[in-house]
Amino acid sequence: MEKMNRSISVIFAAVMAATGVYWAAHVSSWTFMGTAAAAACYVLFIMTGLRAIPALTGYITPGRSQQYAGLEAAEDLRRQAWTKIVVWVLLSRLLMAVAAYAFLILKNGYTGDLFGYLNEAWHLKGIDAPSYLGIAENWYVTEGDPRFHIVFLPFFPILIKAVHFFTNNYLAAGYAVANLCAAAFALVAYELAALDMDRKEAFRVVKYMFIFPAAFFFLLPMTESLFLLLSLLSIYLVRKKKWLFGCLCAALAGFTRSPGVLLAVPIVIELWRGLAETYKPADKKAFKRMLAAAAGCLAIVPLGLLAYLYINYAVYGNALQFSIYQREHWFQRQYLFFDTVRYQMEYAVGKFKEGDSRSFLGLWLPNLLAIFTTLYVMFKSARKLHPSYTAYMIVYFVFVTGPTWLLSAPRYLAAAFPLAFAVVLLTKDKAKDSAVTVVCIAGSLLYLGLFVWGYPIY
């Protein structure tokens, strides 16, 4: 085992070294702060990967990893837990709406127009919500500004369209879908956490998911709640040996947001572990049937993203039309995550020197804080977190922080379910839990206030 770990570590280090050399040869600018930030991100990521390798190889090797016992499945205890969680979710939604209202009063004063102010507080025009609502109402079109809506995936708008039948209002339907999904993913997160943790820790997983600074996006008609629900359901079902339904949920996650296809990584790890546990040399035929079933289920995972590519082809005659618009309209393409840190730091320093506090506080500083905080949590939890979650977090981090014009790092990273699990494992001490909780709530209020006050938060 040690020899295999060393070999994998050498390969990983060599790949990262080659990537670093490539970046150094093609970097567009060298500044002290930008280069230092990129180097710190690069080194910390390598250290995270090296720490994760032994845990991962141990998990997929039968008999080498501890298997955790889930909580007792008594229905009365589950009902009590679910009731507490639903109340927590509803209360957090209410408190967030009140806080947004209070922030708006601080900005504009009080006029007594409660509902008008609530609508103004969640100024949807500056984020992606109108695009999803437009798709729900008109589907994808090829003319005018709405032609760019093709870059947004269709499952969330499809659900809005379905709920519109009951609400007769697309905005209300968007809010309904997002918040129902938020309540549902809280329940699934608890059940998934309960496979490995005691009851109090499982509750804390839900708590952290809803107090991360960008968690207010779960309230808005955006895809994060739905994506989290499908991601959590996928892993929960696969870990419960319900491979087909788990992979179907992963496919729907990929039909909601493109990172959904990355769920194939933890699914492969869980399938491998399951196959390794059941392998018996004397019953090779049964094992081959299970292997074929696993391969068939895994093949379902990319179908959601492939369906989205087909929609691109049906509407535009080009399956990759979305990438053209991303590149030409938003100057967006996929690149190296540590180069993202470089230009984010350069923009942050530049805006700070210019005195542009809105861009500095609303965009560049939160992006950097989200990236480095997430990476630090990944590093510290790499030997403690469930190995397939760590693997997913690593590939998800590389993917969502790699765009050449990243504007939404806090929101994207809040939709990575392993992050809350990792924070819980790192805050077992009550004092640490209390301190991190206070920091998260303070950060949430500050970030929400900046959003309500119209800072560039997307």
* CA 51/CA 394 separation, integer angstroms: 12
User: Are the CB atoms for 210 and 88 separated by under 8 Å?
Assistant: yes
Q: What residues have CB less than 8 Å from 17, skipping those under 6 apart?
A: none
What percentage of the chain has pLDDT greater than the value 90? Answer: 83
User: Are the CB atoms for 118 and 100 separated by under 8 Å?
Assistant: yes
Pull the structure tokens for residue 130.
């109108």
User: Are the CB atoms for 267 and 246 separated by under 8 Å?
Assistant: yes
By mean pLDDT, which of 226-230, 286-290, 357-361 is the weakest? 286-290
pLDDT reported for residue 233: 98
pLDDT reported for residue 108: 79
Amino acid type, 324: I
User: Are the CB atoms for 348 and 18 separated by under 8 Å?
Assistant: no
Compute CA distances 76 → 73, 81, 88, 240, 331, whole Å: 9, 9, 18, 21, 53
- Determine the distance from the C-alpha atom of residue 203 to the mean position of all C-alpha atoms in its chain, rounded to a whole number: 19
User: Are the CB atoms for 287 and 112 separated by under 8 Å?
Assistant: no
pLDDT reported for residue 285: 83
Greatest mean pLDDT range, 63-77, 142-156, 277-291: 142-156
pLDDT reported for residue 288: 87
* CA 391/CA 53 separation, integer angstroms: 9
* CA 457/CA 226 separation, integer angstroms: 20
- Cβ-defined contacts of 434-443 (< 8 Å, 24+): 437/207, 437/208, 437/211, 440/208, 440/211, 440/212, 440/213, 441/211, 443/212, 443/213
Nearest residue to 71 (alpha-carbon basis) of 242, 203, 232: 203
Pull the structure tokens for residue 181.
């999904």
User: Are the CB atoms for 335 and 28 separated by under 8 Å?
Assistant: no
Nearest residue to 386 (alpha-carbon basis) of 56, 25, 16, 30: 56
Residue 79 gets the label, from left (phi > 0), alpha (psi -120 to 50) or beta, of alpha
The string of DSSP codes covering 52-75 is HHHHHHHHHSTTSSPPPPPPP--H
- Determine the distance from the C-alpha atom of residue 124 to the mean position of all C-alpha atoms in its chain, rounded to a whole number: 21
Residues in the chain: 458
Q: What residues have CB less than 8 Å from 398, skipping those under 6 apart?
A: 337
pLDDT reported for residue 74: 63
* CA 117/CA 101 separation, integer angstroms: 7
Dump pLDDT digits (tens) for 138-152: 999 999 999 999 999
User: Are the CB atoms for 214 and 411 separated by under 8 Å?
Assistant: yes
- Reported confidence tier of residue 111, pLDDT bands at 50, 70, 90: low
pLDDT reported for residue 277: 82
pLDDT score of 192 more than 90 = yes
> Cβ atoms within 10 A of the Cβ of 62, count?
12
* CA 37/CA 34 separation, integer angstroms: 5
What mean pLDDT value characterizes the chain? 93
Dump pLDDT digits (tens) for 162-177: 999 999 999 999 999 9
pLDDT reported for residue 291: 92
Comparison of pLDDT for 331 and 403, the residue scoring more: 403
pLDDT reported for residue 276: 85
Q: What is the mean pLDDT of residues 89-98?
A: 91
User: Are the CB atoms for 260 and 393 separated by under 8 Å?
Assistant: no
* CA 413/CA 225 separation, integer angstroms: 13
Q: 3-state DSSP call for residue 29?
A: coil
pLDDT score of 203 more than 70 = yes
pLDDT reported for residue 165: 95
pLDDT score of 330 more than 90 = no
Give exposure, 175-202, as e/b (b: 16+ Cβ within 10 Å). Answer: bbbbbebbbbbbbbbbbbbbbbbeeebb
Q: What is the mean pLDDT of residues 201-220?
A: 96
* CA 404/CA 378 separation, integer angstroms: 23
* CA 379/CA 358 separation, integer angstroms: 31
Amino acid type, 150: I
